[in-house]
Amino acid sequence: MKLPIIAYGDPVLRKKATAIQPDEYPHIKELVGDMFETMYAARGVGLAAPQVGLSMRLFVVDASPFGDDEPSLNNFRKVFINANIMEEKGEEWAFNEGCLSIPDIREDVSRKAIINISYYDENWKHHQESFDGMAARIIQHEYDHIEGKLFTDKLSPLRRRLIEKKLNEISKGMVDVDYKMKFPAAKKGR
Ligand code: NI
């Protein structure tokens, strides 16, 4: 089932999400399936639970669209539950990022190259792994979502000022988007 994606301006995107326990969410795989379906329909490479209105430490990633450039990403489809980035290191590099909650805006964002992260998968198996390249980049972006952060927070004050009007319009639903969204400041009837 496709879920509506929460747009910029909704407080759920600003909350630090809480860890989840296996017994609280016996149907977690159903939710994970819905999140992948929602993400693919919107042609995203990552989606975090707050983006579908759930303040839980859960996100899904499928980096395979980057498989042409980085063959190791061809089957890179992963679920991250209760993730904790333990270390970020290496040189910062910039990449032009976008976000399904902030349609039509793309900006260069600098992030460190390598992460060391612990997390559980959808079978509640624990992992501790290092990622670099595009995988690290996507995970860092999604991890920010469960911390209540957005890529627009990382822009210079000038860049932020330049996109401020557009961000306001997005929260009101004044944006063309071909997937289902929920706009926090939309007038009734939209
Ligand atoms: Ni995002």
As a whole number of angstroms, the distance between CA 105 and CA 114 comes to: 25
Compute, in angstroms, the gap from residue 99 CA to the centroid of ligand 1: 4
Tens-place pLDDT, residues 77-112:
999 999 999 999 999 999 999 999 999 999 999 999
Active site residues: 142
Mean pLDDT of 12-38: 96
pTM of the model: 0.96
Compute, in angstroms, the gap from residue 188 CA to the centroid of ligand 1: 26
Q: How far is CA 14 from CA 97, 127, 188, in A?
A: 19, 27, 23
As a whole number of angstroms, the distance between CA 37 and CA 183 comes to: 20
pLDDT at 4 over 60: yes
Alpha helix ranges (H) inside the chain: 28-41, 133-146, 157-171
Please give the CATH topology (third level) of the domain spanning 5-182. Peptide Deformylase (3.90.45)
Compute, in angstroms, the gap from residue 115 CA to the centroid of ligand 1: 18
From the list 137, 146, 144, 22, the residue with the least C-alpha distance to 76 is 137
Compute, in angstroms, the gap from residue 169 CA to the centroid of ligand 1: 17
The pLDDT, as a whole number, for residue 188 is 64
Compute, in angstroms, the gap from residue 100 CA to the centroid of ligand 1: 6
